[in-house]
């Protein structure tokens, strides 16, 4: 599975977990956030927590003291499950979280292996979980190029995540449109046009020197205050590989640092558009196969599950709006099991409906929910066994809405046609 495909699922998982954590608040400074970077010794972290346990004994509030010390013990127990800190680091959130309207608290623990290495060692006890260092990983890490241009000057810059670097400034040497006295208007315009073309060629060479060697170069944004950017883009001045990566042409008031800031303000929306374009292409491929009845796609939970288990799925498409769980029901008397799929909000009434219901096998009223799993995670596990790429498709595009509403949010592009 390629890094980009894996990241699509990993970032979805991380985003969902962080959303849950953001909703948690402690009654006091009872919520522990622990970040351990790669290479940190587990024994060192456990010893630090032992010291913190001793420090917590000085907390005046009996309830807060007990909750903090209980959480520290829970974190130590989780750490002991690891021989070493994973190669990308380890993050644990743990603490006493008030339960909905119950007036009670429950120790909740979340263990996260980050999708990319973290470089921070942090222990914090607070009224909230400190997720900001993981939030940073949700930002785009690919490099984008900015080329600001008008007839007088240009600026070339790169953006990677939140890091902006102005790499080069180029002056054009092109005279203004007002001609010098004594020259014919036509000759002046011809000389100006020659200077402009030479400037465009130089700028194309600068762009190749700067952007082509970048390993993870995602796209190029061309910007500027007037029509010059369109003249440059239409000509044969840019290397064809860069021309293919132009993702947007935008108007700015300036071509200097101020112009770069204008582009930066619009960049998050532009970068989201890139991911949407990738998703649209995947969905358009799926819809093409459907429309031409090639037999190389399928959709719906049962059909996709069957093809995944057969190992025939190349790419699994899952809507990020799937709020569905897979439920395992088990009889405690005879061990009979059955699986159900339902919307999350139906889970409570389903569980209540099992009370007193006879087991289909032994007739004993001993049925209960043994396990629940988010359907996306359930399918992701099947995909991992089948070496299938997983794409989480946003519901913010027309195609993403179509996946969710017309195809149940679950679709597959196949490696080979299944025999029927």
Cα–Cα distance, 315 to 88 (Å, whole number): 26
How does the average pLDDT of the chain come out, rounded? 89
Looking at domain 3-138, does it have CATH number 3.30.960.10? Answer: yes
Q: Do residues 283 and 403 lie in contact, with contact meaning Cβ atoms separated by under 8 Å?
A: yes
pLDDT of residue 161: 64
pLDDT of residue 146: 93
Tell me the three state secondary structure of residue 332: coil
Tell me the three state secondary structure of residue 156: strand
Cα–Cα distance, 73 to 60 (Å, whole number): 19
pLDDT of residue 276: 75
DSSP state for residue 142 in the 8-state scheme: S
Domain boundary assignment for the chain: 3-138, 143-176+195-275, 297-414
Q: What is the mean pLDDT of residues 252-273?
A: 83
Backbone angles phi, psi at 64, to 5 degrees: -60, -45
With DSSP H G I counted as helix, E B as strand and the rest as coil, what are the percentages for the chain, rounded to 5? 40, 25, 35
CATH superfamily of 297-414: Ribosomal protein L30/S12 (3.30.1330.30)
Q: Do residues 393 and 400 lie in contact, with contact meaning Cβ atoms separated by under 8 Å?
A: yes
Is pLDDT larger for residue 361 or for residue 273?
A: 361
Exposed e or buried b per residue across 321-360, where buried means at least 16 C-beta atoms within 10 angstroms of its C-beta: bbebbbbebbbeeeebeeeeeeeeeeeeeeeeeeeeeebe
Tell me the three state secondary structure of residue 273: helix
CB-hemisphere CA count at 13 Å for 295? 5
pLDDT of residue 5: 44
Cα–Cα distance, 338 to 326 (Å, whole number): 11
pLDDT of residue 4: 46
CATH number for 143-176+195-275: choose from 3.40.47.10, 3.20.20.70, 3.90.330.10, 3.30.420.60.
3.30.420.60
CATH fold match for the domains 3-138 and 143-176+195-275: no
Backbone angles phi, psi at 178, to 5 degrees: -80, 120
Cα–Cα distance, 243 to 236 (Å, whole number): 9
The kind and range of the H/E element at 313 are strand 313-319
pLDDT of residue 2: 42
Backbone angles phi, psi at 123, to 5 degrees: -125, 125
SS (H, E, C) 72-134: HHHHHHHHCCCCCCCCCCEEEEEEEEECCCCCCEEEEEEEECCCCCCCCCEEEEECCCCCHHH
Q: Do residues 170 and 154 lie in contact, with contact meaning Cβ atoms separated by under 8 Å?
A: yes
Write out pLDDT tens, residues 202-227: 999 999 999 999 987 888 999 999 89
- Whether 102 shows a pLDDT value over 70: the answer reads no
Write out pLDDT tens, residues 129-149: 999 888 877 765 678 899 999
């Amino acid at each position: 599975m390629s890094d980009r495909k894996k990241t699509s699922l990993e970032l979805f998982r991380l985003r969902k977990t962080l959303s849950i954590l953001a909703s948690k608040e402690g009654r006091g400074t009872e919520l522990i956030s622990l970040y351990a970077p790669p290479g940190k010794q587990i024994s060192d972290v456990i010893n630090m927590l032992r010291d913190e346990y001793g420090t917590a004994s000085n907390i005046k509030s009996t309830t807060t003291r007990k909750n903090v010390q209980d959480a520290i013990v829970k974190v130590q127990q989780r750490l002991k499950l690891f021989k070493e800190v994973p190669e990308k680091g380890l993050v644990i959130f743990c603490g006493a979280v008030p339960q909905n309207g119950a007036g009670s608290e429950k120790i909740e623990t979340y263990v996260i292996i980050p999708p990319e290495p973290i470089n921070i060692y942090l222990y914090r006890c607070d009224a909230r979980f400190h997720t900001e260092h993981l939030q940073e990983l949700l930002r785009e890490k690919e490099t984008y190029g900015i080329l600001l241009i008008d007839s007088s000057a240009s600026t070339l810059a790169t953006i990677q995540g939140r890091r902006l670097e102005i790499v080069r400034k180029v002056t054009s040497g092109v005279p203004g449109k007002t001609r010098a006295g004594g020259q014919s208007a036509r000759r002046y315009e011809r000389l100006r046009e020659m200077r402009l073309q030479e400037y465009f060629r130089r700028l194309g060479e600068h762009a190749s020197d700067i952007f082509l060697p970048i390993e993870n170069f995602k796209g190029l944004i061309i910007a500027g205050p007037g029509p010059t950017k369109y003249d440059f883009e239409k000509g044969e001045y840019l290397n064809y590989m860069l021309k293919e990566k132009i993702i947007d042409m935008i108007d700015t008031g300036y071509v200097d640092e101020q112009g770069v800031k204008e582009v930066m303000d619009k960049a998050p929306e532009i970068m989201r558009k890139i991911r949407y374009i990738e998703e649209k292409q995947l969905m358009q491929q799926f819809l093409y196969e459907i429309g031409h009845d090639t037999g190389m796609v399928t959709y719906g939970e049962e059909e996709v599950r069957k093809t995944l288990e057969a190992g025939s799925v190349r790419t699994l498409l899952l809507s990020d709006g799937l709020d569905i769980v897979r439920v395992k029901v088990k009889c405690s008397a005879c061990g009979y099991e059955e699986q159900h799929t339902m919307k999350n909000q139906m889970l409570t009434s389903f569980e209540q409906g099992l009370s007193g219901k006879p087991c289909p096998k032994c007739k004993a009223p001993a049925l209960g929910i043994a396990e629940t799993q988010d359907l996306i995670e359930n399918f992701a596990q099947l995909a991992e066994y089948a070496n299938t790429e997983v794409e989480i498709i946003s519901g913010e595009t027309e195609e993403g809405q179509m996946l969710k509403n017309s195809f149940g949010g679950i679709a597959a592009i196949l490696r080979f046609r299944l025999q029927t």
